[in-house]
Structure formats: C-alpha cells, structure tokens
Amino acid sequence: MANPFTLTRAARSLCMAALVVGGGGSAWAAGEDGDEGRALCAAKILTCAAEAGPADVVNNGALLIKDGVIQGVLHKANDIPDGYKIEDLGDAWLMPGLVDLHSHIAGRGYNDSVFQANPGLRVKCTVVPQNGNLVRALAAGVTTILYIPGSATTVGGQGVLLKTSPATYEPMVVRDPGSIKVAQADNPKRWGFRMNRIFLNWTIREIFGRGAVYAQAWDEFEAGTGPKPERNIQLDIFRDLFAHRTQISAHTQVHQVILASMDIMKAKYGLDLYIDHGTFDGYKAAAIAEELGVAAVIGPRSVNFQNKGRGIDTNGAVIGVAAEYQRRGHSRIGFNTDAPVVPQEELALQAAMGVRYGFDDSEQGAVRGVTIVPAGIAGIDHRVGSLEVGKDADVLVITGHPSDPRTSVERVYVNGERVYDATEGRVF
C-alpha cells in the first residue's frame, strides 16, 4: 500500500537542495523568489480562517504555498494553476501550525528574580535555538510560542513571540517584546518572607503606576509639551504597552486574582491584557472578562476541583475550566501548556481535555483555540494562526483531528519550508 507520506526520491532531494541553498547564513531556508510553488492536496483542510464559517473546512482541496507564504486555498484540486508541484497527501488533513502563548522551552535561565517586579528583563537573551524541546515542539506541530519568564516574581519581564523552527535567533522572532509577564498568586509569594497575595497586588499596582507616569512623560516629550525624561530601562516596556505595541500575558488563575488583573491593567489603564495559564476557579470572572474584552488562554490540563487550602469548594465536582468560561458567555478561549511543566508537545491535549470536560467543539473551538484564537490574542494573526492567503505558510500535515490522541503529525512546514517529516525520523 502506498504511503502518502513517503517522499519521492526527487522531492526529498529537492528538499535537501532547498536546505543547502538557504543554508548560507543559517540553516533556515524560506522559499525564495522564483522557487517552484507547491500544491498540497488533502482530504480535509482546517483553515481556521479568522472569520468562522463554512470556509473553515475544505474537503478534498488543495493548499498553494510559494515564497514561504500561502497563495491560495482551493476547493478543487483541478484548479491548481501552473508552476505548482502537486503532492497528493491522500487522506491526510492540513491545518495551521499550533500557537502556544505560555511556554518556557526556548531557552534556560528565564526566572531571574532579584526584584519582586522586573519589567525591564528580557527573556530573549536566554533563547537557545534548536534545543531539544523546540525540536519536539515542532514534531508535535507547535510552530509558534510565546516564550516568557517564569512566575517567581510578580512581573517577570518581557516575553518574545518565536517560531520553533530550526533556525538562528533572528528568523525565529515573530515579535519582540511579545508580552510582559505578570504573575500574582502562589509562585511569587515564595520570593520573600511575609510576601503574600495582597502585597503582590500592591507591588503590581505600584509598578504599573510608575510605568504609566513614565510612559506619559515620554508621550509629552514627543508631543513637545514636556521635558525629556530620564531613560529608565526598567520602565521602557510601558511605552510599548501604552502604545498598544505589546500585551500583558497575565499568569492569573484564581478568581480574585483575575479580577485584580482586569481592575489594574484593563479597567484603570486600558492596556491590552489577556488571561494566560487560566486554571482553578477563574471562570467566575468570565462574564466581566468578556465585557472588558479580556481573552482567556486556558491550561495546563485545567480542571477545577475541591481544594480547601485554596478556599475552592466545588462540592466534590470536577469542573472543566474552558467549558465553564464558555458557559458563562466568554467568546475568546485559547489553550496553553506552560511547557515544560507540561510537555510542549501536549498543547493539543489541553484542548482535548477542555472538550472532555464539556467545552463545546461544534464550531471548531478546540482547533481554533490552539491556532487563530491565540494568534489573534497575541496580535500576530496577520502572520500565523490560519491557512489564509498572504499568511506565513506554517502548515501541519496530520492524520486526523488534532484533539484526537490517535492523530499523529506527519509533516510540518514553517514559512513554506519542510522542517519536520515523520518519514525521516518519527518523534511521536
């Protein structure tokens, strides 16, 4: 029986050639101008288009890739224009590469906690490209991550949005700063003796207050209405935040802590904030989050259950966090791992667990929650998160629905380049 994933000798050598051609400065070879395009024909294409609708799923269609970018999503394979090499992938599915907005796997030493609030720290200086975790992430279809500092302090520093592809640092970057990381309960309490939840709350209010004053002083200077402020690299990130060039990824999970995040960062300062690492009983704030336009990224493995120590009393019930956000009217729900606490390759499992505990997937919520929804939340949906014309050709070839644990990733493209192929050495 013909294996649709077995590359022809010619295709394989083409692939190798592309790697060699692009390998001058880095091992990174985005499709170059003049390259032959590729048309991937598949039984099912989950486009995860930004606008949900019938175009979401294309059966027996073809995906056109050229110059590292998606050129078209065709409903009929016989519409493929000239200049595209056709590959029939048989019963395989295509979907966009997965996006994880809570990950720590791109490097080491990302939890510096000299101060209780460290908005100036940049985790990008710890990135180790092509490390083993990134290789496994890619093999599981995770192509974009928000690599962020740990939660040992209330403000851990600045994250960076990266592709997981085997490259040097520069071509991996999707956006820097990718976010500013805020953490509120539990972990940062270990920082110092007698520091607990209400002191952490105070610390965040204090640093955001100073950041607001700093950003405003620069705005006034640039508008010609104020003196030139003294540069303070600890607070520079607030200029990006107040100009809406980046967001706050808040590791915020307990009901009251989510309220505090929204109170300080969204209601008071109007900053772009999303709930990250959403677990426990945070869904109780879902209605306000929806009202304020605060998206929720849920995980890892988030179910809420009896936890007297935290004051969480569910009457013995095990409650799906994503399902409960949804039931309370929240409309922008994504999933994350917190890798390596939970392995990066288990991102799809987070969505599967969501569905297992009641999350409604009838409109592809579990697929969109690991693709276009997190891409939109992070403000990078013009590049990644869906298979739409003009976006980066980050494409997965998989054997079925990504939330089905029997499904395996067979091939991964990033920027149109084949960066993983299970037939050449299967990881999962």
Partner 1 sequence: MKLSLFTLTLCIGFTSTAALGQTVDSRAVGVRPLEPVGYEAPLRTTRVTSTAKFAILSSKIVTCAEQGESVINHGIVLVSAGKIEALGRQGELDIPIGYEIINVGDNWVTPGLIDLHSHVGGSLRGNDLNDTVFLTNPGLRASAAITPGNSNLRRALAGGVTSVLYIPGSGSNIGGQGTLMKTGFDTYEPTEIRNPGSMKLAQAGNPERFAWGVNRSFMNWHTRETLKRGIAYAQSWEDFAAGAGEKPEMNIQFEVFRWLKPRATQISAHTQMYQVVLQSLTRVIGDLKLPLFIDHGTIGAWKLAPLVREMDVAAALGPRNVDVPSRGMMNWSQNIEAEGWRGTAVGYQLAGVKEIAFNTDAPVMPQEELSLQATIAVRYGFDDTSMQAMRGLTIIPARIAGINHRVGSLEVGKEADILVISGHPADQRSSVERVWLDGHEVYNADEKREY
Q: Which residues bind partner 1 (CB under 8 A)?
A: 185-186, 189, 192, 194-202, 205-206, 209, 213, 254-257, 259-260, 262-264, 267-268, 281, 284-285, 287-288, 291, 308-313
- Cβ 311 to partner 1 shortest distance, Å: 4
State both tokens at 410: 């067979």
- List, in order, residues 6 or more apart from 193 with CB less than 8 Å away: none
Q: Which structure tokens are listed for 173?
A: 């970057």
Nearer to partner 1, 281 or 410 (CB): 281
DSSP 117: B
Distance separating alpha carbons of residues 228 and 225, to the nearest angstrom: 10
* Rounded alpha-carbon distances, angstroms, from residue 111 to 47, 156, 233, 357, 374: 36, 7, 18, 32, 23
Tell me how far apart the alpha carbons of residues 357 and 323 are, in angstroms, rounded to a whole number: 7
Neighbours of 79 (CB within 10 A): 12
CB of 116 to partner 1, least distance (A): 9
CB 197 within 8 A of CB 185: yes
Residues 6+ apart with CB under 8 A from 23: 29
Q: CB of residue 275 vs partner 1: minimum separation in angstroms?
A: 14
Closest approach, Cβ 256 to partner 1, in A, equals 5
Going through 223-326 in order, the beta strands assigned E by DSSP cover: 247-251, 273-278, 295-298, 303-304, 319-320
Task: In whole angstroms, give the CA distance from residue 394 to residue 106.
Answer: 18
Q: Choose between 175 and 189: whose C-beta lies nearer to partner 1.
A: 189
Closer residue to partner 1 (CB): 19 or 195? 195
- By C-alpha distance, which of 138, 55, 47, 53 is closest to 93? 47
- What is the nearest approach in angstroms of partner 1 to the Cβ of residue 374? 25
Do 413 and 419 meet the contact criterion of CB atoms below 8 Å apart?
A: yes
* Beta carbon nearer to partner 1, 64 or 257: 257
Look up residue 54 and give its amino acid.
P
Q: How far is the CB of 345 from partner 1 (least distance, A)?
A: 32
Among residues 5 and 191, whose Cβ is nearest to partner 1? 191
Tell me whether residue 33 or residue 193 sits nearer to partner 1 (CB atom). Answer: 193
Q: How many CA atoms lie within 13 A of 222 on its CB side?
A: 8
Rounded to the nearest whole angstrom, what is the least distance from the CB of residue 175 to partner 1 in the complex?
Answer: 29
> Is residue 60 classed as helix, strand or coil in its secondary structure?
strand
Q: Which is nearer to partner 1, 127 or 200 (CB)?
A: 200
Q: Which lies closer to partner 1 via its Cβ, residue 81 or residue 209?
A: 209
Q: How far is the CB of 259 from partner 1 (least distance, A)?
A: 5
